[in-house]
Amino acid sequence: MRLDTVRLPWNSIGLLAVLLALVLLFSVLSNYFFSALTFRTLLNQIPALTVIAVGMTYVLLIAGIDLSVGSVMALCAAVAGVLLAQFGWSLWLAVPAAMLTGLACGALNGYISARWRISSFVVTLGMLEIARGGAYLVTDSQTQYVGNAVGIFGATLPGLGVSISLIIALLVVLAAQFVLVKTVFGRYMVAIGTNEEAVRLSGINPIRYKIMVFVLAGLLTGLGGVFQLGYLQSADPNAGLGLELSAIAAVVIGGTSLSGGRGSVINSFLGVLIIAVMQTGLAQLGVSEPSKRIITGVVIVAAVVFDVYREKFSFINAGKKLS
Amino acid sequence: MEKTNPLLSIRGLNKQFTVAVLQDLDLQCYAGEVHALMGSNGAGKSTLCNIISGVLTANSGDMEFDGRPHAPESLLEAEAAGIYMVMQELNLFPTLSVAENLFFKQLGVVRGENTPQKTPMSGLLVDHGALREQSYELLARVGLNNIDPAMPVSELGLGQQQLLEIARVLHYPLRLLILDEPTAALTDPQIELLFEQINMLRERGCSVVYISHRMDEIRRVADRVSVLRDGRCVATQPVTDIDVDSLIHLMAGEGAATERSLADSAKRNRHTVMRVEHLAREGVFRDVSFEIRAGEILGIGGLIGSGRTEVMRCLFGADKADSGCLRFARDNFDQRHIHDCPQNAIANGVGLVVEDRKAQGLLLRAPVADNIVLGQERRISSALCVLSSAREAELAEPYVTLLNIKYDSQQQAVGQLSGGNQQKVLIARWLSMELPILLFDEPTRGVDARTKQAIHRVLRDLVAAGNAVVMVSSETQELLTLSDRLIVMSNGRIAAEISAEEATQERILRASFRYYNDVGTSGARIDAT
């Protein structure tokens, strides 16, 4: 409750301001940007990235990192895709199977890194390769066309035109923020990211919570895979290349610290929106792909520089009080 | 001494952060003088030293050093004038070797104006042979002769690291040395060596500004003492004119410490609640057996590196013992227990207030209440693990009041509080767990005199209420005042068990040395002085 509710609104307001400024900027620069169609398209692209960024926020909070989300998402989508397209499973079995796949990958990441104290960077880098290989194996390197079998995950809300997936993703964001700020589990994530040894010596086993965080991140990646499958109505074993970097970028833009102990799910979601608005807006302006990437890169670095500066500034203020 | 001009003269120094930290502070320090600074935390000692040494700049006021105006903008500028500071927090590179740490500033410096004559460099390369030779010299001066200069600093004990910090500045062209709580992590013999070095500096005409909370030390080593309170220098007197009571009065404006009442402690009902049997941990300590009794403060003395902290950690399950066991009165001493994680210890009613509060105890970025309830979040949450701030306050606040913890706002990070308040927060956590056996490792390390008194009172109240307290302390005086029974460790073994009535400084010291006389295997090393 305390630490984050005080700091959070300010950050959120800042991010929201950046987001609105971007929307305004693109609306002025492009005739097509400010339209229901653009926003609908934009919003229907982000559910997968959103839920994955939620998991990534948790992982960064405990001072870990998960590089495997892109390929794990592809693997999960592939599992669901193959089960639907080739084995004719019902959606209500294929979806849990996909999510369980993600959960299993996350459990492995968490168990190996937390139990044996191996850097999660290395473990998830390994998982990045393993899951990608798995996705090729499962699909036999063929894109799996699923079509209408994706059911409600491909459906949109009548009238609004936004997908069911987006609604689910938004609910996940809200639930995850609640868990972070209001529950024991959330408190422990922040505490572990702040000082793991202090947590251990207060009689809490941090390993258990660290594994749980990776399991959750895996589960959410599985859900992201299902969203992706629903959006494209197919499972491509090459899907999600570089997605881990987009997710980390969104979370970092949202102000989550890479060294752990500080972060907010809501702000990560705002980070996702900022990235998506930039991508769409720049595309509509006819900015070439290389330039788009350069601009995105600059924004990420600028966001972090700003954040570090702000942190330093508040530290100086804190220092003044201290003495 | 007063006839000559002061080496360092400070007049009307002001420093303002959000509040005034230094107000019209005057101070004179003469060449060849050891000038002690005392004052409770927040009195402005550290700020003053930071200004003298160029870490901070003052808002107003004049400083003169050696007859010239002194207003350093950086540490380097002050060092160029011959002013060096050894800070309370260690500033060593744990992964670099002892030698590299000693000569860090000279590494890479081939020739320079302000470097000592010798540099351990040959051309652009580090001459490791020369580095080693020069390290031996410096290490010997602080009694670390036994240390291999090639050893990484992380393998040294806290006290040894502190000595290394001091050794590091000894080969500079010192004119004024500022020592901030240099003995906080040192054992008595190590302190002797430090004093020897200070005396040598004094004979060379170098001044030493010496911050300490330990009155006995100040009386021994200092020439004059200045007392700071609320950013002012309220008194400067020769140490011979001053006594403990008046110093405490000057610092806090409050009554002196209450003396230990033996009659009171004799009335308590004491019975054994925990037995430690033949506990051992490879290469650290062996065959450690003793009893912990309710209604009693068991003091554990000994040199740093003698295994005291390590025994505490094994009792608490922070580390796992290799052999031996613990037995508890609650199961009639029938069961053999080994604590392999803190959860086990807590379940058996054992808690540990760790030595290093910042690294191992507190969440510095979190507020006071979060820190107090850490580990007990289940108690302040609903069935669905949703935290209740009302229940959090209910759990934390009685202890905030009891220990008189001072903070500005509910949200203020613990890292912004003074060292004394931080220590109180950590102690509050363990009090709120209501465990019958509490282990305290250096409970008053680096806290001001007032907080120290408060913590002593907490320990006494705990045993008066029938709890068992074990206290590791490097301060013999503290052990003597508080302990009902004393254990002295020496080189990983128990060297003596002494009752309060029979305990004297000399007995404790003699026991501390007992097992070091043969060629020592562990890190601690003592010179026969």
Among A201, A204, A316, A317, the strongest candidate for a mutation testing the B interface, having the largest count of B CBs within 10 A, is A201
Sign of CA dihedral A144, A147, A148, A150: positive
The answer to whether B437 and B458 have CB atoms below 8 angstroms apart is no
Query: What mean pLDDT comes out for the span A139-152?
Result: 88
Task: Point out the residue among B21, B318, B415 whose CB comes nearest to the CB of A323.
Answer: B21
Residue A38 has pLDDT above 70, yes or no: yes
* Among the listed residues B215, B207, B302, the one whose alpha carbon sits nearest the alpha carbon of residue B39: B215
Residue B215's CB is within 10 A of a number of other CB atoms, namely: 20
CA-to-CA dists, residue B108 to B105, B123, B136, B238, angstroms:
8, 9, 20, 44
Residues of B in contact with A200 (CB under 8 A): 318, 342
Overall residue count recorded for chain A in this entry? 323
CA-to-CA dists, residue A173 to A13, A49, A270, B34, angstroms:
17, 12, 11, 62
Overall residue count recorded for chain B in this entry? 529
Residues of A in contact with B417 (CB under 8 A): 322
CA distance A289 to A295: 10
| Residue B486: band (very low, low, confident or very high) from pLDDT cuts 50, 70, 90 | very high
Specify the pLDDT at position B254. 42
Residue B114 has pLDDT above 60, yes or no: no
**Strand partners of residue B325:** B277
In CATH, the number for domain A2-322 is 1.10.3470
For residues B173 and B288, the model is more confident at B288
Residues of B in contact with A319 (CB under 8 A): 17
Specify the pLDDT at position B117. 52
Specify the pLDDT at position A268. 96
The answer to whether A271 and A250 have CB atoms below 8 angstroms apart is yes
Specify the pLDDT at position A118. 95
A176 Cβ contact partners less than 8 Å away, ≥ 6 residues apart: A54, A57, A58, A265
Give per-residue pLDDT as tens, B350-408: 999 999 999 999 999 999 999 999 999 988 998 888 999 899 999 999 999 999 998 88
* Among the listed residues B441, B401, B424, B448, the one whose alpha carbon sits nearest the alpha carbon of residue B38: B448
| Residue B502 burial (C-beta neighbours within 10 Å; 0-12, 13-18, 19+) | exposed
For residues A3 and B210, the model is more confident at B210
DSSP A167-182: HHHHHHHHHHHHHHHH
Q: For B118-164, where are the E strands, in sequence order?
A: 121-122, 125-126
Domains and CATH numbers, chain B: 1-82+174-256 (3.40.50.300), 353-434 (no CATH)
Specify the pLDDT at position A311. 66
Among A317, A321, A323, the strongest candidate for a mutation testing the B interface, having the largest count of B CBs within 10 A, is A323
- Computed over every residue of chain B, the mean pLDDT equals 85
A241 touches chain B (CB under 8 A): no
Task: Point out the residue among B18, B359, B415 whose CB comes nearest to the CB of A197.
Answer: B359
Residue B478 has pLDDT above 80, yes or no: yes
Residue B154 has pLDDT above 90, yes or no: no
* Among the listed residues B144, B68, B72, the one whose alpha carbon sits nearest the alpha carbon of residue B101: B144
Nearest CA in chain B to A202: B375
CA distance B510 to A1: 53
| Residue B214: band (very low, low, confident or very high) from pLDDT cuts 50, 70, 90 | confident
Give per-residue pLDDT as tens, A197-222: 999 999 999 999 999 999 999 999 99
Task: Point out the residue among B352, B411, B416 whose CB comes nearest to the CB of A201.
Answer: B352
Residue B134 has pLDDT above 90, yes or no: no
Specify the pLDDT at position B41. 55
A178 Cβ contact partners less than 8 Å away, ≥ 6 residues apart: none
Specify the pLDDT at position A113. 96
Q: Give start and end residues of each alpha helix (H) in chain A.
A: 2-29, 36-45, 47-61, 69-85, 91-110, 120-139, 164-182, 184-194, 196-200, 206-232, 243-253, 265-284, 289-322
CA distance A151 to A145: 13
Give per-residue pLDDT as tens, A257-299: 888 999 999 999 999 999 999 999 999 999 999 999 899 899 8
Of A2-11, A241-250, B380-389, which has the strongest mean pLDDT? A241-250
Residues of A in contact with B408 (CB under 8 A): 321
Of B89-93, B118-122, B303-307, minimum mean pLDDT range: B118-122
Residues of A in contact with B17 (CB under 8 A): 319-323
Residue A313 has pLDDT above 70, yes or no: no
* B257 token code pair: 């410490």
Q: What end-to-end distance do the CA atoms of chain A give, in Å?
A: 27
Residues of B in contact with A192 (CB under 8 A): none
Query: What mean pLDDT comes out for the span B77-84?
Result: 90
B14 Cβ contact partners less than 8 Å away, ≥ 6 residues apart: B20, B22, B23, B24, B25, B58, B59, B60, B61
Nearest CA in chain A to B410: A2
Report percent pLDDT > 70 for chain B. 88
Specify the pLDDT at position B512. 80
Residue B261 has pLDDT above 60, yes or no: no
Residue B343 has pLDDT above 80, yes or no: yes
CA distance B248 to B257: 9
For residues B58 and B257, the model is more confident at B58
A1 Cβ contact partners less than 8 Å away, ≥ 6 residues apart: A181, A182, B387, B389
CA distance A150 to A171: 20
Specify the pLDDT at position B109. 59
Specify the pLDDT at position A322. 42
| Residue A4: band (very low, low, confident or very high) from pLDDT cuts 50, 70, 90 | very low
| Residue B158: band (very low, low, confident or very high) from pLDDT cuts 50, 70, 90 | confident
DSSP state of A150: G
| Residue B19: band (very low, low, confident or very high) from pLDDT cuts 50, 70, 90 | low
What backbone torsions phi and psi does residue A19 show, to the nearest 5 degrees?
A: -60, -50
User: How far apart are the CA of A254 and the nearest CA of chain B, in angstroms?
Assistant: 19
Query: What mean pLDDT comes out for the span B236-263?
Result: 64
Query: What mean pLDDT comes out for the span A177-203?
Result: 95
Give per-residue pLDDT as tens, A23-34: 999 999 988 899
Residue B255 has pLDDT above 60, yes or no: no
Specify the pLDDT at position B513. 72
Task: Point out the residue among B352, B377, B416 whose CB comes nearest to the CB of A321.
Answer: B416
| Residue B260: band (very low, low, confident or very high) from pLDDT cuts 50, 70, 90 | low
Specify the pLDDT at position B142. 83
Tell me, what's the ipTM?
0.86
- Give the neighbor-by-neighbor strand order of the sheet with B20-29: B20-29, B8-16, B60-65, B68-69
User: How far apart are the CA of B314 and the nearest CA of chain A, in angstroms?
Assistant: 12
CA distance B332 to B354: 28
CA distance B499 to A5: 53
Do A321 and B18 make contact, defined as CB atoms within 8 angstroms? yes
The answer to whether A156 and A164 have CB atoms below 8 angstroms apart is yes
* A74 token code pair: 């592809």
Bridge-based pairing of strands B232-238 and B224-229 is antiparallel
Give per-residue pLDDT as tens, A81-139: 999 999 999 999 999 999 999 999 999 999 999 999 999 999 999 999 999 999 999 99
